[in-house]
Protein backbone atom coordinates (compact mmCIF):
# COMPACT_ATOMS: atom_id res chain seq x y z
CA UNK A 1 0.00 0.00 0.00
CA UNK A 2 3.01 2.29 -0.43
CA UNK A 3 2.20 5.00 -3.01
CA UNK A 4 4.79 5.44 -5.74
CA UNK A 5 5.86 8.72 -7.32
CA UNK A 6 3.55 8.12 -10.31
CA UNK A 7 0.54 7.01 -8.25
CA UNK A 8 0.71 9.72 -5.59
CA UNK A 9 -0.93 12.31 -7.87
CA UNK A 10 -3.48 9.96 -9.43
CA UNK A 11 -5.00 8.43 -6.27
CA UNK A 12 -5.98 11.78 -4.63
CA UNK A 13 -7.47 13.00 -7.92
CA UNK A 14 -9.69 9.92 -8.23
CA UNK A 15 -10.78 10.17 -4.59
CA UNK A 16 -11.64 13.84 -5.10
CA UNK A 17 -13.64 13.05 -8.25
CA UNK A 18 -15.62 10.30 -6.52
CA UNK A 19 -16.11 12.55 -3.49
CA UNK A 20 -17.52 15.38 -5.58
CA UNK A 21 -19.80 12.96 -7.47
CA UNK A 22 -21.11 11.52 -4.19
CA UNK A 23 -21.68 15.03 -2.83
CA UNK A 24 -23.60 16.03 -5.97
CA UNK A 25 -25.72 12.86 -5.73
CA UNK A 26 -26.47 13.49 -2.05
CA UNK A 27 -27.38 17.14 -2.73
CA UNK A 28 -29.63 16.15 -5.66
CA UNK A 29 -31.39 13.51 -3.53
CA UNK A 30 -31.76 15.98 -0.65
CA UNK A 31 -33.28 18.60 -2.98
CA UNK A 32 -35.65 16.05 -4.53
CA UNK A 33 -36.82 15.01 -1.05
CA UNK A 34 -37.53 18.62 -0.06
CA UNK A 35 -39.04 19.68 -3.41
CA UNK A 36 -40.84 16.72 -5.06
Spell out the residues 6+ positions from residue 11 whose beta carbon is closer than 8 angstroms to its own: 3
Mean pLDDT of the 5-13 span = 61
Contact 1, 11 (CB under 8 A): no
The pLDDT of residue 23 is 92
- Per residue in 12-32, pLDDT (tens digit) is 677 788 889 999 999 999 988
Is residue 33 pLDDT above 80, yes or no?
yes
DSSP letter (8 states) at residue 32: H
Residue 17 pLDDT: 86
The SS3 assignment for 16 reads: helix
Amino acid sequence: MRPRSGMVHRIPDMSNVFGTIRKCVRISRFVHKIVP
